[in-house]
Structure 1
């Protein structure tokens, strides 16, 4: 059984979450996740998520508090010597619909397709059913060791670009910069993977549309244990 504990500090707010993963029959794996909301005012179902998954095949998430369910199915195949991966995601609720005139929460369905041309080049298409648009991302890993990754993305709904550039270093360190043209948010991130089954992240976000706003700071640590 594997346990993951994650702590996060954002501004003046600190949060925590934990996940327990237990092998089930065959390749199946069962996970139970909880945030601090499950214990803030005494034990409750709020903040709990139960997951049944077969890595690379399917995943089912259930949030018992509001009876939200997420189904995800994944598959991949070689097409003309190119690796094509498809992911179908559908989110809905098992809760009875509210009384009129309120409307039941809409179901949410998304399709994701990625084509890997070679180890350095990949294109990803994401589309939410009913949105009328899609997100197209190109990933390029530069150099013989592919330590530098450049990811331009275009969102047809917002008619705007997003950019991400990341660089990995020896010892487990990595830095990443992002820019969202639609919101004019600039993000900088540093992460480190420790040999002690832990990872750390420090990130900050600058709102370039309103430079009077103070940068937003986020610190996060994740610890993995074998039980």
Structure 2
């Protein structure tokens, strides 16, 4: 059994979450995830998520508190010597429908890997009338620098991300969202001891009088 504990500090708010993963029959895996909401006022179902998955094939999420469910199916194949991966995601509520029940949400995701350095991804939410197209380019022999331009047809706006990895598990990432004019900087480190640490900050370029937003996040993995 594998346990993951994640702590997150954002501004003046601190949150925590934990996940337990247990192997099931065959390649199946069962996971139970809980946030601090499950223990804030005594044990409760709020903040609890149950997941049954077969990696690379399907995933089913259920939130017992409000009976929200998410179904995800994945598959990939070689087409003209190119790896094509498809993901279908459907989110809905299994509870008796009240007058203001949230609508079901369906999304399609397709990625085409041309070679280890070049990949294109298409994402579309049904009913949105648009899609997100992202190109990923990994530069260099060791592919330590990754450049990811993205275009959102709904917002008619670009997003950019550049990630640079270093020996030892460190990585630096910069992002920019043209629609919101948010500039993000992130530093992360993966530890061989089973944990990771991340510090990120965002700047609102449309209003530079606003203080930067700071986020710190730590993750620890344990084998039980």
TM-score range, shorter chain: over 0.9
Cα shift at 1:15: 0.3
In structure 1, the residue matched to 2:127 is 130
**Paired position in structure 2 for 1:25:** 25
Query: Secondary structure in 2 aligned to 1:37?
Result: helix
Deviation at 1:103, TM superposition (A): 3.0
Deviation at 1:102, TM superposition (A): 3.3
1:161 to 149, 158, 161: 158
Q: CA deviation at 1:105?
A: 1.2
CA shift digits 1:139-182 (9 cap, x unpaired): 00000000000000000000000000000000000000000000
Looking at structure 2, the residues matched to 89 and 136 of structure 1 have their Cα atoms a distance apart, in angstroms, of 17
Deviations 1:95-143 (A, max 9, x none): 1xx78x9332100000000000000000000000000000000000000
Alpha-carbon distance in structure 1 between the residues aligned to 2:99 and 2:68: 18
Q: Counterpart of 2:108?
A: 111
Aligned to 2:141: 144
- C-alpha distance in structure 2 between counterparts of 1:138 and 1:152, whole Å: 6
Mapped to 2, the partners of 1:118 and 1:212 lie a distance apart of 44
**Corresponding residue SS for 2:9:** strand
Give the TM-score taking structure 1 as reference length.
0.97
- For structure 2, which runs of at least 5 residues remain unmatched after alignment? none
- CA–CA distance in structure 2, aligned partners of residues 103 and 42 of structure 1: 29
Q: Kindly indicate whether residue 202 of structure 2 is the aligned counterpart of residue 205 of structure 1.
A: yes
Within a 5 Å distance, the mapping from 1:1-40 to structure 2 comes to 1-40=1-40
Per-residue deviation at 1:196? 1.0
Match of 1:102 in 2: 99
Equivalents in 1 of 2:70, 2:62: separation in Å?
Answer: 7
| Count of aligned residue pairs for this structure pair | 224
CA distance in 2, matches of 1:69, 1:102: 19
TM-score under structure 2 length normalisation: 0.99
- Could you tell me how far apart the structure 2 residues matched to 1:177 and 1:79 are? 33
Distance 2:123 2:76 in 1: 16
Give the aligned CA root-mean-square deviation in angstroms.
1.0
Q: Distance in 1 between matches of 2:217 and 2:94?
A: 33
1:178 aligns with 2:175: yes
Cα displacement string for residues 4-36 of structure 1 (whole angstroms, at most 9, x for unaligned residues): 000000000000000000000000000000000
CA distance in 1 between counterparts of 2:207 and 2:156 reads 21
